[in-house]
Amino acid sequence: MFTRRSWIGLWLGAAAALAQPAEPLDPSLAIRFQLPPDAPVAVVGKDLGDSRIQARGGALVLDLRATVTLRNNSTHNIRGLTLVVLAQEMAPGGKGSVAAPSLNVAPGGSFPVRVNLRLLRPLPVPVGPLVEVGLDGVLFADFGFFGPNRLESRRTLTAWEMEARRDRQHLKAVLEADGPEALRQQLLASLKRQSDRPRLDVQVSRGARALSAAVNALIGHNVAFAFLKIPDSPIEPLSGGAVVNGAEASSPRIEVANRSHRPIRYFEVGWVVRDSAGREFLAGTLPAAAGLDLRPGRIASTLQDRSYKFIRPQEAPPSIAGLTGFVSQVEFADGGLWIPSRKALEHHSSLFRLLPVSPEEQRLAELYRTQGLQALIKELGKF
């Protein structure tokens, strides 16, 4: 017969056992891959590496450090892919995604995708796999797309592929016009830009934190955006601003006009903050609201009900003195996409210095750094 003390002892013992870090997860038990039967990729290998799972409070913490190997079962080259990694969809921290841009996988070829995520799953421990991995989208070399696109992977992967083609063409043009040494200098400059790019940590609060927003409204002040002109941009920023209080900017708003002849369903405006010492930092992007239908010649506004707090590690918080905006991406209603040209970005030298290099330029720069100039030239010749 169990006494109350016995039940407490059993409960504490079970809790203590559950709290102990588990051995590395067994891929066949911990992760289930759910790809559609007609998916253009298939799982041919998986390795959970040093993934760990442990109980903290009322949840399981899953630190996934896995590699999944996929095979291209389609008849087209694959340029990018997005996976959805789900522990529990409705729980905070229970869902993540992994994107693999800058691919060039021929039909029948295999490629690894690294999964490096921390997910949460409420207790109790379920029967069966703890994590399900699905497919949100695959982008092909002809810009064809497969997948449910719930995470807008088509837009993201297409933008990355357009950037990749833009930056590869730039490097190939340098090689053809000025030779290998000029190409070397371009890659050295790229590596330096990556290491020297000024960085600013940003804490984003949705809903602009009612108390913080109220305080900002009382003691903050409005700072208007200055806008950089990007040639050939389909939209023109007209006005915008944010409520600024020290290192915090709340409720940024942008008004734009469609200067193209095509309806627009999405756009992003990048923004830069300047502190009181004149230093500039890339703050991120301000996306258009969902459901946008911006007809030619019409005007639309986007308002972010968020608060952005900027932090410099090991330094005093910056005091925001100015804001600059620029159009960074436009998606048309027919699915076409616009991004700034390399020439347009380089024309604004201060902006070019702040922007992160594309995933493809990072890949090519790393190839040059680790394998040398001839390996880079050979790689460029594949496209």
Q: What is the pLDDT of residue 217?
A: 56
Check whether 62 has a pLDDT greater than 70. yes
Do residues 296 and 250 lie in contact, with contact meaning Cβ atoms separated by under 8 Å? no
Q: What is the pLDDT of residue 91?
A: 76
Q: What is the pLDDT of residue 195?
A: 94
Higher pLDDT, 304 or 283: 283
**pLDDT (average), residues 64-80:** 95
Give the span between the Cα atoms of 316 and 337, in whole angstroms: 40
Distance of CA 316 to CAs 7, 9, 219, 276, Å? 53, 50, 20, 12
Do residues 151 and 103 lie in contact, with contact meaning Cβ atoms separated by under 8 Å? no
Give the span between the Cα atoms of 347 and 324, in whole angstroms: 16
Check whether 370 has a pLDDT greater than 70. yes
Residues 6 or more apart whose CB falls under 8 angstroms from that of 150 comprise 84, 136
Residues 6 or more apart whose CB falls under 8 angstroms from that of 38 comprise none
Check whether 122 has a pLDDT greater than 90. no
Check whether 233 has a pLDDT greater than 50. yes
Check whether 221 has a pLDDT greater than 60. yes
Q: Among 19-28, 268-277, 292-301, name the one with the lowest average pLDDT.
A: 19-28
Give the span between the Cα atoms of 253 and 212, in whole angstroms: 17
pLDDT digits (tens, 9 = 90+) for 82-109: 999 998 877 788 899 999 999 999 999 9
pLDDT band at 58 (very low <50, low <70, confident <90, very high): confident
What residue ranges do the domains of the chain occupy? 25-151, 158-197+360-380, 201-355
**pLDDT (average), residues 234-262:** 95
pLDDT band at 220 (very low <50, low <70, confident <90, very high): confident
> Measuring CA to CA, which residue among 127, 120, 66 is closest to residue 95?
120
Q: Which fold has domain 25-151?
A: Immunoglobulin-like (2.60.40)
Q: Among 59-63, 88-92, 109-113, name the one with the lowest average pLDDT.
A: 88-92
Do residues 273 and 318 lie in contact, with contact meaning Cβ atoms separated by under 8 Å? yes
**pLDDT (average), residues 283-303:** 92
Placement of tokens 């992967």 in the chain: 157
